[in-house]
Amino acid sequence: MSLEILYGIGFAVFVLVFLTYVLAPTRNQTNLPFWSVLLVLCAGLNFVAWNEKDATLQWVLIEGTTFVGSLLISSSRTPKSYPIAWKFLLINSFGLGIAFLGIILILAAFHVINQPVEVLVANISEHPEIIWVEVGLWLAIFGYSAKLGLFPNHVWIEDTYGESPTQVSSLLSAFIPVSVCFALRPFVHLDHQLFPHTFSGADGLLVLGIITILISIFAVYDRDDIRRISAKVALFHTGALAVILWMDLSDNIFYFVMASNLVVKSLLFISMGIVRMDAGKRELGKILQSDAINKPALSLFILSLFLAFVMPGSPVFVNDIVLIKAGQIGGKGLVILVPILGLVFFGVMLYKIAPLLNLKGRTFQKENSTILRIRMTNGFFLLLLLLGTGCWGFFLLVQGIL
């Protein structure tokens, strides 16, 4: 897969999310022109960050998504939205501040060393300045991990994705991790080249990713809120992205994994929002007390959960195959833990969600029918895009490109 195809998938995802926001807003979503401009700005900053080669300018663009994202989180104007927006802003800015310090140290050290990385690797013992590169890599990787949402700075993910407007959660969860992965990837690659035999910043990223995955599994069992359950799905995939980054795979695989994140997260939150709005509640216990629910909407949501983990035809399923294959080739067989833990997470989540299937079916309630039908239409197109990406991934896998 090429970067151009990734941009095409990203643009299609953004258009569908944007149309959902503009054509099917809820009562709390007022002043649509202003917030729509911010949605476009947030997506634009992410798009530019993907192809930016200058580490400092890329950092500025990602920091811009932090500021714009915090405004979008507060757009629902609920009592919870403002403190959650501040949490998002502060934790992400804290992490990016550490990352910026690391970037400065790396650039300053390489200016002193002024030699290609390959030469440094061959003569690492002759360069005492390399210690500053190592410190810089630790800071840059850990700082960006906070923006990605890894442990111990993962606490903003559940609140942000669980309390933001559905379209905002869909946009942020789909696009921001991709931008951060683009920023992290060169540092992980450099770390592997310079420090292949010591516990380094890239290995620290792996540890944080695995801890994040385990936390998401334990946390989802205690959740009774479909919005926060969906946020835990996003948290699991954040941990998985850290493991994939640590593997330092080819461009084709990296771009496909990023495309998977775009389509899976966007469908997950859009479909979840339809169910929540149709049911008028978000707690599973209260939804189960209802007489009936719209079955097509519920089916789309549950299908999105299947596609986020185990279902053939999903790009995530392709990712798991590629990860296992790369682990065997590279002697890193322990990465098979990611798909195994994904099955565990899915089993726990299905245990929580499955009772909803016992509810009787009904049509959308009259007061929300127009909005929900528009969202269902956009959700259906997102589903087609997701399945198309998954099928394309299988084709690339068979051709040996992935």
Residue 124: pLDDT band with limits 50, 70, 90: low
Token readout for 119 is 């030469």
DSSP 364: P
Q: Which amino acid is at 93?
A: S
Q: Which amino acid is at 361?
A: G
Residue 29 above 80 pLDDT?
no
Taking the C-alpha atoms of residue 21 and residue 167, their distance in angstroms, rounded to an integer, is: 6
Residue 123: pLDDT band with limits 50, 70, 90: low
Taking the C-alpha atoms of residue 222 and residue 351, their distance in angstroms, rounded to an integer, is: 12
**pLDDT per position as a tens digit, 329-338:** 888 888 999 9
Task: Pick the range with the lowest mean pLDDT from 49-63, 115-129, 156-170, 268-282.
Answer: 115-129
DSSP 30: -
Most confident among 5-14, 279-288, 351-360 (mean pLDDT): 5-14
Taking the C-alpha atoms of residue 167 and residue 378, their distance in angstroms, rounded to an integer, is: 11
Residue 156 above 70 pLDDT?
yes
pLDDT for the residue numbered 117: 63
Coil/strand/helix, residue 195 = coil
Please give the mean pLDDT across all residues of the chain.
91
pLDDT for the residue numbered 118: 62
Residue 122 above 80 pLDDT?
no
CA-nearest of 64, 80, 76 to 30 is 76
Q: 337-374 b/e with 16+ CB inside 10 Å = b?
A: bbbebbebbbebbeebbeebeebeeeebeeebeebbeb
Q: How many CB atoms lie within 10 A of CB 284?
A: 18
Do the Cβ atoms of 274 and 376 come closer than 8 Å?
yes
**pLDDT per position as a tens digit, 228-272:** 999 999 999 999 999 999 999 999 999 999 999 999 999 999 999
Give the DSSP H or E segment for 218: helix 201-221
Question: Which residue do the tokens 């399923």 mark?
Answer: 317
Do the Cβ atoms of 260 and 394 come closer than 8 Å?
no
Residue 113: pLDDT band with limits 50, 70, 90: low
What's the number of CA atoms in the CB half-sphere (13 Å) around residue 65?
29
Residue 111 above 80 pLDDT?
no
Q: Averaged over 73-82, what is the pLDDT?
A: 82
Residue 110: pLDDT band with limits 50, 70, 90: confident
Taking the C-alpha atoms of residue 402 and residue 169, their distance in angstroms, rounded to an integer, is: 29
Q: What angle do CA 96, 165, 242 make, to 5 degrees?
A: 40
Taking the C-alpha atoms of residue 60 and residue 99, their distance in angstroms, rounded to an integer, is: 11
Choose between 136 and 25: higher pLDDT. 136
